[in-house]
């Protein structure tokens, strides 16, 4: 058998998934297939609407299109593997498990940094509107996206390499539906001290820093909005931030619940919280951003109108 880690006797892992009861597998398959198709369709529509409507060629929608693309990739890293395990194969190779973990952390943290960049964009738009065009110019927006994508990959590579140095002996059953650091480290028969130190230091910094930036941005936004004399002006300012705040609450609330706790306390109860930030948030993002945004709803209507006119017989 293939052995990617030469010091381990484990060449594959068994993902137990969300339920071991045979009667649950087909309903779960249908549920997550539906959620996956909704996620892909919704985020693709957001991307197409933004890139086809000249009125949506602004920094806010530029960042949103990258967030939607990242959500498609993030969900695709997780859900197809789950669908396979529901109906047939629950095993995943050692290399496949580390690969999945790498992309989960890379794409999940890219989401996190993009949410911070979007909060910064709203901060500049509301608190410094006269310099918004020059501050959030296209070159700077590209640099912010490039940074948001590259740093998470370096972070993920570090943890993947540290995990690969561990020894896995006989136990290869992962009590989870995906390959995550905590359940994998629990299976190791070698010391995980270095891994835990890095998680509690570097990982916490990478996770908490974007959240601190978002918090700072919204405190400044709140102070600025409260100084607006008219109620209509306050509502307009808050309406541009409501969708983003909803997504931030869902995403970071579930992530902090899962990861800001000691390894020894990690249990199967954390599966629900993991589902929220890996699957549910990506599916809900298109609805949250489109339902509360008139410009995006108009862009989606234009996109659907063009598709109908092209499909209509001449």
Helix 281-291 vs helix 59-87: crossing angle, to nearest 10:
150
The residues with which 12 forms a beta bridge, in sequence order, are 93
Contact between residue 33 and residue 82 where contact means Cβ atoms under 8 Å apart: no
pLDDT above 50: residue 206: yes
Question: Which of 42-46, 109-113, 278-282, 307-311 has the lowest average pLDDT?
Answer: 307-311
Return the sign of the alpha-carbon dihedral for residues 176, 100, 13, 203: negative
pLDDT value at residue 48: 92
Q: Where are the domains of the chain?
A: 23-299
pLDDT above 70: residue 91: yes
Contact between residue 88 and residue 22 where contact means Cβ atoms under 8 Å apart: no
Q: What percent of the chain has pLDDT over 70?
A: 91
Tell me the fold of 23-299: Rhopdopsin 7-helix transmembrane proteins (1.20.1070)
Question: What are the start-end ranges of the E strands in the chain?
Answer: 12-15, 91-93, 173-174
Average pLDDT over residues 44-71: 93
pLDDT above 70: residue 205: yes
d(CA 182, CA 176): 10
**What does the pLDDT look like over 144-166, one tens digit per residue?**
999 999 999 999 999 999 999 99
Contact between residue 187 and residue 101 where contact means Cβ atoms under 8 Å apart: no
Of residues 240, 303, 254, 241, the one with CA closest to residue 282: 254
pLDDT value at residue 280: 93
* Higher per-residue pLDDT: 233 or 129: 129
d(CA 300, CA 48): 8
Two tokens, residue 114: 């993009």
Report DSSP state, residue 312. S
Let me know the angle formed at the C-alpha of 245 by 243 and 247, rounded to the nearest 5 degrees: 75
Helix 281-291 vs helix 22-52: crossing angle, to nearest 10:
40
pLDDT value at residue 269: 64
Of the pLDDT bands very low, low, confident and very high (cuts 50, 70, 90), residue 266 is low
pLDDT value at residue 3: 43
Considering the chain, what is the average pLDDT of its residues? 87
d(CA 152, CA 111): 9
Q: What percent of the chain has pLDDT over 90?
A: 53
**What does the pLDDT look like over 167-189, one tens digit per residue?**
998 889 998 899 998 889 989 98
Q: How far from 26 is each of 71, 73, 83, 87, 89, CA to CA, in Å?
A: 25, 24, 9, 7, 14
Let me know the angle formed at the C-alpha of 70 by 175 and 282, rounded to the nearest 5 degrees: 60
pLDDT value at residue 39: 96
Of residues 78, 71, 75, 73, the one with CA closest to residue 15: 78
Q: Which pTM value belongs to this model?
A: 0.90
Contact between residue 76 and residue 126 where contact means Cβ atoms under 8 Å apart: no
């Amino acid at each position: 058998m293939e052995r990617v880690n030469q010091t381990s006797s484990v060449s594959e892992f068994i993902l137990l998934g969300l339920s071991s009861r045979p009667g649950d597998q087909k309903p779960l398959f249908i549920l997550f297939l539906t959620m996956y198709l909704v996620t892909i369709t919704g985020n693709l529509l957001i991307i197409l609407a933004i890139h086809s409507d000249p009125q949506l060629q602004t920094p806010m929608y530029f960042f949103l299109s990258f967030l939607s693309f990242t959500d498609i990739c993030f969900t695709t890293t997780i859900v197809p593997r789950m669908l396979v395990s529901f109906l047939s194969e629950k095993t995943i190779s050692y290399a496949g498990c580390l690969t999945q973990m790498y992309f989960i952390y890379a794409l999940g943290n890219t989401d996190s940094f993009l949410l911070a960049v979007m909060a910064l964009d709203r901060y500049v738009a509301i608190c410094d509107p006269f310099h918004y065009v020059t501050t959030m110019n296209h070159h700077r927006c590209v640099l912010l996206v490039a940074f948001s994508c590259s740093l998470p990959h370096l972070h993920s590579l570090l943890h993947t390499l540290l995990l690969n140095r561990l020894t896995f002996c006989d136990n290869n059953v992962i009590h989870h539906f995906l390959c995550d650091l905590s359940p994998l480290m629990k299976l190791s028969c070698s010391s995980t001290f270095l891994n835990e130190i890095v998680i509690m230091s570097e990982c916490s910094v990478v996770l908490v820093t974007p959240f601190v930036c978002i918090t700072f941005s919204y405190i400044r936004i709140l102070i600025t909005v409260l100084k607006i004399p008219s109620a209509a002006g306050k509502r307009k300012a808050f309406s541009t931030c409501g969708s983003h705040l909803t997504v931030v609450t869902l995403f970071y609330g579930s992530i902090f619940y899962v990861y800001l706790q000691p390894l020894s306390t990690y249990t199967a109860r954390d599966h629900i919280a993991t589902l929220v930030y890996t699957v549910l948030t990506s599916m809900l993002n298109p609805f949250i951003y489109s339902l509360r945004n008139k410009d995006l709803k108009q862009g989606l209507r234009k996109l659907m109108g063009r598709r109908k006119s092209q499909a209509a017989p001449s």
